[in-house]
């Protein structure tokens, strides 16, 4: 879109995330997303279909599950790993588990069965409140960390070390645990907002602290990830703040699924990364990905959900429809996309839709008829608009067609 047509206050000063910074995304839908108590665990066939949609969206990494959670979980993680390897996908896999030997052994077993090492994501509670409840000391957590990471590394698995509730953990413990993990061989660390406590400033502060006080002093090349939940509705903003502080990768879940109110929503995360120019990839299957996850997990997409919701690019309001119609008349679809939307529908394989309802004007009816190849006489426009004004909802296509002369119906 021509910069003369839109003044962008978002770009008024230097960007928080420098252009060209490599940003990666890890999809937790098939692990953390399935911990939501309301979802249905998809069949392995459905999980494989979702996996291929992740690949089509250019998602960098996927957690394929918790193999120690039971026989079905083990079988599914193995099948997903085989699919990635057999289909030569670019997406990288990792496996989840606690810092318990039996969980790590299950990860090792999967890797041995598929004949390829897979990153082991090992998580451990760390905050003072958790330590109080569990009667854990920091020394105990350090020993546990060293043993767990060492066990995975000795088996040839790349080690990802995760502390739960990092955002509410004191600085000295954060340094002690992550430094121990790095010395034991972890080459990726995850900072977590497990309970959705963070604000953007908090996420920024934690990531910056970890990089300056842990990663740089280690002298090792360490990937830093941010994993956020959405209890305060700030998950996307927090993820962007984490990237601004230097995080390499952020975690997200389709439709914000996950425990309680869920995780960072993948759709909204990808949209924002695309609009910020931090990723450049084909996102035309974003809606298909979201709808597939919704069907597979037996959940629904709210009508007003950003980008992939039914109403994301629909309007029935006369003023809005008039402006969109005038923009279309200028033969500039991008202009029509931007006049009443901060998110260009075309970037995601979608388009603006004008409906006819009680808030509509003549522009809505004229536009609708033109889109359907129907001549718009004054009498027909008035008839449709009169019915719409008396309706309590947007008219369906069948209801509009029923108002047309028999000769105009398709």
Grade residue 11 by pLDDT with cuts at 50, 70 and 90. confident
What pLDDT score was predicted for residue 12? 65
Asked whether the predicted pLDDT for residue 410 surpasses 70, the reply is no
**Contact (Cβ atoms closer than 8 angstroms) between residue 166 and residue 192:** yes
Q: Where are the domains of the chain?
A: 12-297, 314-408
**Contact (Cβ atoms closer than 8 angstroms) between residue 27 and residue 59:** yes
* DSSP 3-state of 191: strand
Rounded to an integer, the average pLDDT of 308-327 is 87
Asked whether the predicted pLDDT for residue 138 surpasses 80, the reply is yes
Q: At 142, list the tokens.
A: 């350090």
- To the nearest 10°, report the CA torsion of 325, 328, 334, 337: 20
Residue 306 vs residues 1, 72, 302, 324, 390: alpha-carbon distances, Å = 21, 34, 9, 19, 29
In this predicted structure, which of 31-40, 183-192, 346-355 has the lowest mean pLDDT? 346-355
Residue 23 to residue 44: CA distance in whole angstroms = 29
Other beta carbons within 10 Å of 121: 27
Asked whether the predicted pLDDT for residue 339 surpasses 70, the reply is yes
**Contact (Cβ atoms closer than 8 angstroms) between residue 81 and residue 65:** no
Grade residue 320 by pLDDT with cuts at 50, 70 and 90. confident
Q: What is the pLDDT of residues 46-102, one digit of tens each?
A: 999 999 999 999 999 999 999 999 999 999 999 999 999 999 999 999 999 999 999
What is the chain's mean pLDDT, rounded?
A: 93
**Contact (Cβ atoms closer than 8 angstroms) between residue 64 and residue 77:** yes
Residue 264 to residue 258: CA distance in whole angstroms = 9
* DSSP 3-state of 165: coil
Q: Which CATH number fits domain 12-297: 3.20.20.70, 3.30.565.10, 3.90.180.10, 3.40.605.10?
A: 3.20.20.70
In this predicted structure, which of 176-190, 272-286, 365-379 has the lowest mean pLDDT? 365-379
């Amino acid at each position: 879109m021509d910069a003369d047509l839109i003044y962008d206050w978002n770009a008024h000063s230097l960007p928080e995330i420098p252009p060209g910074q490599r940003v990666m995304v890890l999809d937790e839908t098939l692990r953390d997303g399935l911990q939501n108590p309301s979802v249905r665990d998809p069949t392995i066939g459905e999980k494989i279909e979702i996996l291929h949609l992740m690949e089509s969206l250019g998602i960098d990494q996927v957690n394929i599950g918790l193999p120690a959670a039971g026989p079905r979980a083990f079988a599914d993680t193995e099948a997903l790993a085989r699919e990635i390897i057999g289909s030569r996908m670019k997406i990288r896999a990792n496996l989840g588990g606690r810092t318990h030997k039996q969980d790590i052994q299950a990860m090792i077993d999967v890797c041995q069965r598929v004949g390829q090492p897979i990153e082991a994501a090992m998580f451990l509670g760390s905050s003072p409140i958790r330590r109080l409840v569990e009667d854990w000391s920091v020394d105990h957590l350090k020993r546990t960390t060293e043993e767990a990471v060492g066990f995975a590394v000795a088996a040839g698995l790349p080690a990802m070390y995760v502390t739960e509730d990092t955002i509410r953990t004191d600085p000295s413990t954060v340094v002690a645990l992550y430094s121990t993990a790095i010395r034991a061989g972890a080459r990726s660390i995850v900072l977590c907002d497990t309970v959705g406590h963070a604000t953007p400033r908090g996420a920024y502060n934690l990531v910056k602290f970890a990089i300056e006080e842990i990663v740089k002093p280690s002298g090792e090349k360490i990937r830093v990830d941010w994993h956020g939940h959405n209890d305060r509705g700030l998950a996307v903003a927090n993820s962007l703040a984490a990237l601004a502080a230097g995080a390499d990768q952020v975690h997200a879940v389709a439709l914000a699924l996950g425990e309680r109110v869920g995780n960072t929503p993948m759709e909204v995360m990808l949209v924002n990364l695309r609009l910020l120019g931090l990723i450049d990839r084909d996102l035309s299957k974003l809606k298909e990905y979201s709808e597939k996850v919704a069907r597979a997990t037996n959940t629904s997409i709210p009508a007003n959900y950003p980008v992939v919701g039914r109403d994301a690019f629909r309007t029935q309001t006369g003023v809005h429809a008039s402006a969109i119609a005038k923009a279309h008349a200028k033969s500039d679809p991008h202009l029509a996309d931007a006049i009443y939307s901060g998110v260009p529908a075309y970037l995601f394989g979608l388009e603006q839709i004008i409906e006819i309802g009680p808030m509509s004007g003549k522009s809505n009816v004229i536009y609708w008829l033109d889109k359907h190849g129907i001549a718009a006489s004054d009498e027909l426009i008035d008839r449709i608009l009169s019915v719409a004004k008396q309706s309590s909802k947007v008219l369906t296509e069948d209801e509009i067609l029923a108002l047309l002369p028999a000769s105009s119906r398709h």
